[in-house]
Amino acid sequence: MTDDIQRPDLSPSTFAMPDGRSLHLYGNFSNAPVWPPGEGHVRGYSHRRWHPVRREWVVYSAHRQGRTFKPTTDCPLCPNSPDGEIPVDDFEIAVFDNRFSSFQKDCPRPAPIPGLDLPVDSAAGNCEVIVYSADHMATIGSLSQGRRELLVRVWGERVRALMALDEVAAVMPFENRGEEAGVTLHHPHGQIYAFSYMPPVIETMAQSFRDGYAIQPLTKLDAYRTADAETACALVPPFARFPFESWIVPKTFRASPADLTDAEVRDVAKLLSVVSRKYDAHFGRICAYVMIVYLAPKGMEDFFPFHIEYCPLLRASNKLKYLAGCELGSGSFLADLVPENTAKILQNIKMEEVS
Ligand SMILES: [Zn+2]
pLDDT, tens digit (0-9, with 9 covering 90-100), for 194-221:
999 999 999 999 999 999 999 999 999 9
Rounded to the nearest angstrom, the distance between the alpha carbon of 238 and the centre of ligand 1 is 37
HSE-up (13 A, CA, CB side) for residue 61: 18
Global pTM value: 0.93
Q: How does the average pLDDT of the chain come out, rounded?
A: 90
Domain locations along the chain: 13-347
Count of CB atoms situated within 10 Å of the CB of 251: 16
Query: For 134-146, what is each residue's pLDDT tens digit?
Result: 999 999 989 999 9
Encode 125-146: b = buried (16+ Cβ within 10 Å), e = exposed.
Answer: bbbbbbbbbbeeebbbbbbbbb
Contact 310/249 with Cβ under 8 angstroms?
Answer: no
Residue 189 a catalytic site member: yes
Percent of the chain with pLDDT over 70: 92
Rounded to the nearest angstrom, the distance between the alpha carbon of 74 and the centre of ligand 1 is 8
- What confidence tier does 8 reach under pLDDT thresholds 50, 70, 90? low
Check residue 74 and give its pLDDT: 85
**Residue 62 predicted with pLDDT over 90:** no
Rounded to the nearest angstrom, the distance between the alpha carbon of 282 and the centre of ligand 1 is 26
Domain 13-347 coded CATH 3.30.428.10: yes
Task: Report the alpha-carbon distance of residue 61 to residue 64 in Å, rounded.
Answer: 6
Catalytic residue among 24, 47, 187, 189: 189
